[in-house]
Amino acid sequence: MIYFLSSIPRSGSTLLASLLGQREDTHVSPTSNLADILGAVVTQFMSNPASVAGKWTKTELYQTLKAIVDSRYVSRSEKIIFDKGRIWPDAKNMETMTEVLGKPPKIVTTVRPMAECIASFYLVDKSDLPVKQWLKESDLFSHLMTSYAVLKYGYEKYPENFCIVEYSDLCKHTQRELDRVADFIGIPHIAFSPEIQQVDENDNAWGIKDLHTLEPEIKETAMNTREILGDEIYECYQGGEFWNDNPEPVRGNQPIDLALEAGLHGHLEKGYEILKHEQNIHPENNRIAFNLGWYEMRRGNLLKGHKLLDRGRPEDVFGNRHIGTDKPVWNGERSVTVFMEMEGGLGDQIHYVRYAKYLKQDYGCKVVIGIDRSLIPIMKNIDGVDFIVTHEASEFVDFDYWLPSMSAPVPLEMEWSDICGLPYIDRDGEAEGKIGVVWLGNPMFEHQQHRLFPKELMWNTVEGFDCISLQKEGDCPKWMEKPSLKTWSDTKKQISRCDLIVTSCTSVAHLAGAIGIETWIIVPILPYYLWALPGDKTPHYGSVTLFRQEKHGCWKAPFKAIKQKLIHRRVQLWNENPMGDTTRSFIEA
């Protein structure tokens, strides 16, 4: 039977693999690519038109995956197999493997306080960089944080799939922890041998000597974590131990927190002053620079603001991870092929595709974009785009340079005055006088951006007008038309029926603005950076009007303004055409 070993790096997984491998009935693989192979099969199956043409089903896909899993270890005589890989805890992977195996996968994982993992990685890397710079530049650190995040989210969704072994417990209470693992997968207890054998790992593949080398006896690694990392980094990475009941550390308000609090309550100059002061003291601090980027945009400095936002990339607070290519980032080169990786949420991808035309018309470049699969049908005929692929297909594209889309204004050296608000996505058909309504985007992101408001506020504001719901999921009032929105093509078609869109800051807002339909967006006091420039208009979309929250935690003001403007619009249209087609006058249906 196959089980899985997937741990936070530097948390004792190599030691556990050696101990489990002492059993004659057990084989623990070296770091495995099985999950990647299965993922490639799934991606090809889902994207290949032949899957549709041949009427292949998911059941047949799962049977194929099962055959791959079974054949991977067919030559092993041991009854118990542990496949070792970092991405097994991914929630989607676990859901797929449940179908493949016919039952939920069982994952054994070692964990360790993150500060200790970071210090251990820094030591084994033997880097000449100061630890702060190493954190910014090291792929090992990025790998560590990604592995932590994948495990955390997977465990929080399917905790019953995991047996978690803490590094300290494995060293101090080895037999007890091995017995826990045995109970988890339903095998007999066996006494372990204190004579530790090295595992079968080729460290040359990772370019790090002694990455998987074990001490001959079981003992915790002796190191002074605080001394290695320094007080600031050590304190930053305390807590986050989702696997136990240890209380989270009590942290005092940091300057960034104070600046955020000031901004949320509308004290924007205060927030700016705090961040400028901290930047003068800590010019190397990327998080301070990132937060300051919003304020520079608000002050009219688009290019300077974008450069500061870019410093959020090493901290994983801006854009996406590096796509893994060895090709350089585009920086104004002419007549070359550029792969533009569309980043962020779906709204960000809809927004940033506009910059392809500048690479084409101003620099003579051929532009290939990598985008979310769901958006491809509505991205046809985008000015400046020569070819479209999914994110996953980037490794099969031939290009000279690549460009992370959310950084495009930097090499293009754009200021607010350079932004063009003209439509760049075609409308589907004629308007029918409808008002399209959206009240909720991604709930997690809404909360992070303090954009979430009671849906009833929106419903009460637009009631009495000829509305259609552009909300893909969730309920809506009975009096509001609710069309099918299974695909982005469906959503675009419904948006095109509208004369007006009223929405929170969502991907629908960006699509409507990109089409050139009049769009009213409700934004919080401290809005998304695209809306940082003061006022009710935005250079990004000529058809967009912003309705800004005036008091933190209170949404009455923007909705009151929207209601008044809707009534004024109705009266104005009626006066212009009192005997005309009422379907274009926002009169009640």
Average pLDDT over residues 249-254: 74
Confidence band, pLDDT 50/70/90 cuts, at residue 578: low
**What is the third-level CATH fold of 434-584?**
Rossmann fold (3.40.50)
Confidence band, pLDDT 50/70/90 cuts, at residue 574: confident
Q: Decide which of 223 and 326 is more confident.
A: 223
The number of angstroms, rounded, from the C-alpha of 67 to the middle of its chain's C-alpha atoms is: 32
Taking only the tens place, the pLDDT of each residue in 255-292 is 888 998 899 889 999 999 999 999 998 888 888 999 99
Q: Classify domain 255-310 by CATH number.
A: 1.25.40
Taking only the tens place, the pLDDT of each residue in 378-436 is 998 899 999 999 887 777 788 999 999 999 999 999 999 999 999 999 999 899 999 99
- Could you tell me the maximum CA-CA distance found in the chain, to the nearest angstrom? 94
DSSP secondary structure string for all residues of 76-133: ---SEEEEE-TTTTSHHHHHHHHHHHSS---EEEEE--HHHHHHHHHHHHT-SS-HHH
Flag whether pLDDT at 227 surpasses 60.
yes
Question: Does CATH place domain 2-236 in 3.40.50.300?
Answer: yes
Q: Which tokens sit at 205? A: 């593949």
2-236 matches 337-414 in fold: yes
CA dihedral 511, 515, 518, 520 (to 10 degrees): 10
pLDDT above 70: percentage of residues in the chain: 95
Determine the pLDDT at residue 579.
55
Flag whether pLDDT at 169 surpasses 50.
yes
Alpha carbons within 13 angstroms on the beta-carbon side of residue 21 total 20
Domain boundaries, given as residue ranges, for the chain: 2-236, 255-310, 337-414, 434-584
**What is the third-level CATH fold of 337-414?**
Rossmann fold (3.40.50)
Q: Which tokens sit at 40? A: 């490639």
Q: Which tokens sit at 97? A: 């493997």
Flag whether pLDDT at 354 surpasses 60.
yes
Flag whether pLDDT at 447 surpasses 50.
no
